[in-house]
A and B are shown apart, each in its own frame.
Chain A
């Protein structure tokens, strides 16, 4: 009979893992050379990657920077394979700014820099002074003024609409109730914007004409146009998407039906269709003489399109939250909006980060579709450039450059989302 009794008298201390399982050697053993088949595959795919990189490098590193036309490129290359970079040297400014007046380039550049200042408090809230958020709030009014120019009174009267709406909301909220307050506030703002803001800013402009040289929308183009449409649509689609997602889960039948109808309609229609509606049909329905800016119309359509997708992404996040979170918030006496804002949304949005950022990236890339309705985004411009006799036949270089520009923005968004996910992790770490 064996003795199964055992008592440990001292606990074992921690020991370091064996050297072959850590560090570079450990990683290579585990990931590249863990068996003879894997070793062969590693070597073969390594060789293939080297070959592709070598080919790309030899194509990219071609001494054609100074060439003034495709024919000059061919002379320089003398029969070798290689890129014709002269087109980028010649036209990169156009690809960035379209036909924006060159003496005013400082305005889009400054706007772009200020965009990051305005984004900082939103993206990196713990690393910048909290007061900067006031600048973020003002930026939506600064940006269009900087880009389109005109008198300072336009953005100021637009901002005044929000102030008026808020004041009316507060007054009615105190006197009647919050729902009546919201309706009255929105109505007051709309009346201001639609009827009064124009004449008021016009009068003020006559009295005191401070402003920037106006630049019409038809001069907008290139990355500047893509970024303008993309940034505004991204910034607007998130809040609209949140409201639609909440509406879709609402118990109120009419609110719910409206949200479901909107989301399903927009998702069921291609973006191109919406853009065509924006470019042609809307003008038919407008009263004659109204001049509703084409870029503004496109931004509105892109925003609506993205917010329908956003709503579904966020609804996914909401559905993933355990019911207990709602009950926890309810049981503490938080009202609907408090529990949404403080408990539900922070978690639902965190879950949805990958989907939200995917939608952002998709939206940003979809801005290239505006070339179909004649706006000169980078792709639209590339067609125009290739129509030039000097560059007729250049394809890879142009598309490569545009792809690179888009990649920089999309990749940054993707990396930021990963940083955000890491930062918001609150389980064991």
Chain B
């Protein structure tokens, strides 16, 4: 839980937040069995926002972003993504999933496919892009995450940091309008965290709408335009990063920050 310094200048020219709403969550509740994991969540995300969700483990932050592409089902309330409401309608779910990219803590690359095949699978089968074109797109994004030379290897032959960058490239190949990150650096060595964060910063610089569950407070401070603090399934506090870190309002936030930011 360190604060990794981000030692580069961030190009903020395209990091603008528009008025257009990307995600709207209202009065959303979710239970696991009888356990109330998410309680009355209200959250509006505008296009171009970079939101970091922080909080202690078990606070429901992963569950929250997993509800946005229906990896978890919510039981009440409303989630609208890009104008499409998430219901049990499978067509809507697949449509939203193809427009919302997601990166996981454990990458979830497909180990039986090469890096290139990992990146072209969904464009070919979901978007029906011709194979040649999908491969060209994949190589473009692999170059962006700086591992084009690994395209014909298998995920098991890459380091953790490289795998996570492939996972980001794989999501980008679907040309998503929103990216979700579920603790993308939590399973990585410190040396590799930086390369993944750099990739995420580049993505932010291009104006991507991002929701990140992460413990990287350096990233939150410099890249996010809003930090959300969750505890016990509720949004406890949200603010601009500057205010959030320097002037937290709730006692719970203060305690959390004092613990993760060290002494």
Q: Which residues of the partner chain B approach A427 to less than 8 Å between Cβ atoms? A: 111, 154, 156-157
A327-B71, A334-B126, A342-B125 are contacts. A426–B112 as well, Cβ < 8 Å? yes
Query: Within 8 Å of chain B (Cβ to Cβ): is A393?
Result: no
Query: Within 8 Å of chain A (Cβ to Cβ): is B194?
Result: no
**Mask: chain A, 327-340; 1 = CB below 8 Å from B; 0 = not:** 11111111100100
B34 → A minimal CB distance (Å): 20
Q: How many A-B residue pairs have CB under 8 A?
A: 75
Chain A residue nearest to B122 (CB atoms) is A332
Q: Which residues of the partner chain B approach A170 to less than 8 Å between Cβ atoms? A: none
Q: Which residues of the partner chain B approach A332 to less than 8 Å between Cβ atoms? A: 97-98, 121-122, 126, 170-171, 174
Query: Within 8 Å of chain A (Cβ to Cβ): is B102?
Result: yes
A333 in contact with B110 (CB, 8 Å) = no
Query: Within 8 Å of chain A (Cβ to Cβ): is B108?
Result: yes
A358 → B minimal CB distance (Å): 22
Chain B residue nearest to A323 (CB atoms) is B108
Of B112, B122, B154, which is within 8 A of A350 by CB? B112
A330-B97, A331-B97, A332-B126 are contacts. A424–B109 as well, Cβ < 8 Å? no
**Mask: chain A, 305-346; 1 = CB below 8 Å from B; 0 = not:** 000000000000000001011011111111100100011001
A327-B71, A427-B156, A427-B157 are contacts. A333–B108 as well, Cβ < 8 Å? no
Query: Within 8 Å of chain B (Cβ to Cβ): is A428?
Result: yes
B97 in contact with A325 (CB, 8 Å) = no
B23 → A minimal CB distance (Å): 15
A342 → B minimal CB distance (Å): 6
B126 in contact with A333 (CB, 8 Å) = yes
Q: Kindly identify, within residues 47 to 104 of chain B, every residue whose CB is under 8 Å from any CB belonging to chain A.
A: 69, 71, 90, 94-95, 97-102, 104
**Residues of B within 8 Å of A, CB-based: how many?**
30
A333-B94, A333-B174, A426-B156 are contacts. A342–B106 as well, Cβ < 8 Å? no
B111 in contact with A347 (CB, 8 Å) = yes
A418 → B minimal CB distance (Å): 18
B69 → A minimal CB distance (Å): 6
Of B100, B104, B111, B156, which is within 8 A of A327 by CB? B104
Chain B residue nearest to A329 (CB atoms) is B110
B110 in contact with A325 (CB, 8 Å) = yes
Q: Which residues of the partner chain A approach B121 to less than 8 Å between Cβ atoms? A: 332, 334, 342-343
B156 in contact with A338 (CB, 8 Å) = no
Q: How far is it, in angstroms, between the C-alpha of A347 and the C-alpha of B100 when the chains are bound?
A: 25
A347-B111, A427-B111 are contacts. A331–B102 as well, Cβ < 8 Å? yes
Q: How far is it, in angstroms, between the C-alpha of A323 and the C-alpha of B98 when the chains are bound?
A: 19
B109 in contact with A331 (CB, 8 Å) = no
Q: Which residues of the partner chain A approach B156 to less than 8 Å between Cβ atoms? A: 426-428
Q: Which residues of the partner chain A approach B170 to less than 8 Å between Cβ atoms? A: 332
B28 → A minimal CB distance (Å): 19
B110 in contact with A335 (CB, 8 Å) = no
Chain A residue nearest to B155 (CB atoms) is A426
B94 in contact with A335 (CB, 8 Å) = yes
A335-B90, A427-B156 are contacts. A328–B112 as well, Cβ < 8 Å? no
Q: Kindly identify, within residues 204 to 260 of chain B, every residue whose CB is under 8 Å from any CB belonging to chain A.
A: none
**Mask: chain A, 72-100; 1 = CB below 8 Å from B; 0 = not:** 00000000000000000000000000000
Q: How far is it, in angstroms, between the C-alpha of A333 and the C-alpha of B109 when the chains are bound?
A: 14
Chain A residue nearest to B170 (CB atoms) is A332
Q: How far is it, in angstroms, between the C-alpha of A333 and the C-alpha of B124 when the chains are bound?
A: 11
Q: Which residues of the partner chain A approach B109 to less than 8 Å between Cβ atoms? A: 328
Q: How far is it, in angstroms, between the C-alpha of A181 and the C-alpha of B104 when the chains are bound?
A: 37
Chain A residue nearest to B173 (CB atoms) is A332
A338 in contact with B126 (CB, 8 Å) = yes
B112 in contact with A334 (CB, 8 Å) = no
Q: Kindly identify, within residues 50 to 90 of chain A, every residue whose CB is under 8 Å from any CB belonging to chain B.
A: none
Q: How far is it, in angstroms, between the C-alpha of A427 and the C-alpha of B111 when the chains are bound?
A: 8
A347 in contact with B125 (CB, 8 Å) = no
B95 → A minimal CB distance (Å): 8
**Subset of 15 A-B contacts with CB under 8 Å:** A322-B108, A325-B110, A327-B71, A328-B109, A330-B71, A331-B69, A332-B121, A332-B122, A332-B170, A332-B174, A333-B174, A334-B125, A335-B90, A338-B126, A427-B111
Residues of B bordering A, CB below 8 Å: 69, 71, 90, 94-95, 97-102, 104, 106-112, 121-122, 125-126, 154-157, 170-171, 174
Q: Which 8 A-B pairs have the closest CB atoms?
A: A333-B98, A328-B108, A427-B156, A332-B122, A426-B154, A324-B108, A333-B97, A331-B102
Given contacts A331-B71, A424-B112, 12 further A-B contacts (CB under 8 A): A324-B106, A328-B110, A329-B110, A330-B97, A331-B69, A332-B98, A332-B121, A332-B122, A333-B95, A334-B126, A426-B112, A427-B154
